[in-house]
Amino acid sequence: MNPPMPTTAKAARIVLFVTAGVLGVVLVVNLLNLVFLLSAPDGAEVLAGAGTTPVLAVAGLALGLASTVCFLLGGLRLGRGGSRSHLVVRILVGLGGLLTIANALVVGQLAYMGVISAMVALGLVQTRSARGWFEATGD
């Protein structure tokens, strides 16, 4: 029988799921906004007035989707335990944070939530109790 998940690992899992949920909602809103703008006769001009193009907007949506998936998969994988899962969670969360930064550079907006939540989740899974739980649960 595996030991119970420590509070820090549960908190990291909650942070990852909440971040994935909020980013998912923002992604859907941005997708609907882009579809609405591009269906309008002067939608490309409105996007140009905002300092972006349809290609950059779609690239931002793709990067947003990738970061959302990384955070969601990191939260799901965190529940398995084991040293391999610990490594995979750290890689997914770090990649999600980097994709959030790349998305901010492409779209031209600041993206604090994805970066801060990635740092918080990484800090929580690196605590002594979380590392001990990952080692004790095995693969």
Per-position DSSP letters for 16-30, written without gaps between them: HHHHHHHHHHHHHHH
Q: How confident is the model at residue 31 (pLDDT cuts 50, 70, 90)?
A: very high
d(CA 97, CA 116): 8
Q: How confident is the model at residue 112 (pLDDT cuts 50, 70, 90)?
A: confident
d(CA 9, CA 108): 33
Q: Find the range with the poorest average confidence among 2-6, 120-124, 127-131.
A: 2-6
- The answer to whether 2 and 81 have CB atoms below 8 angstroms apart is yes
Mean pLDDT across 75-88: 92
Mean pLDDT across the chain: 90
Mean pLDDT across 112-135: 93
Mean pLDDT across 65-88: 94
SS3 8: helix
pLDDT of 19 reads: 95
d(CA 128, CA 113): 25
- Farthest CA pair distance, the chain: 62
pLDDT of 139 reads: 66
Mean pLDDT across 90-115: 88
pLDDT of 56 reads: 86
pLDDT exceeds 90 at position 69? yes
DSSP label at residue 108: T
Could you state, in order of their start, the residue ranges of all structural domains in the chain?
A: 7-137
Q: How confident is the model at residue 97 (pLDDT cuts 50, 70, 90)?
A: very high
